[in-house]
Amino acid sequence: MATIAEKVDTKYIGKRVEKVDALERVTGKAAYGADIHLPGMLYGKVLRSPHPHANIK
């Protein structure tokens, strides 16, 4: 029969954690990954075939 593990006191699990960037997110001032532009930055895109098992050349 399985035994119950002893209760471990944790810092974050089961407790409220203050969101330090909440105000920036709500006001639209937070910087997301898509908002960052660097000099010489390249972009990529996934190309998927509309046909199953087709080869993309």
Q: What is the extent of the structural domain holding 45?
A: 1-52
Helical spans, DSSP H, in the chain = 22-27
> Look-up: residue for tokens 């908002």?
35
Whether 47 and 56 have beta carbons less than 8 Å apart is answered as: yes
Q: pLDDT tens for residues 34-55?
A: 888 999 999 899 888 888 988 8
**Does 57 map to a domain?**
no
**Does 24 map to a domain?**
yes
How many domains does one find in the chain?
1
Entry pTM:
0.40
The maximal CA–CA distance of the chain, rounded, in angstroms, is: 62
**Does 3 map to a domain?**
yes
**Structure token digits, residue 11:** 């810092």
| pLDDT at 2 (0 to 100) | 62
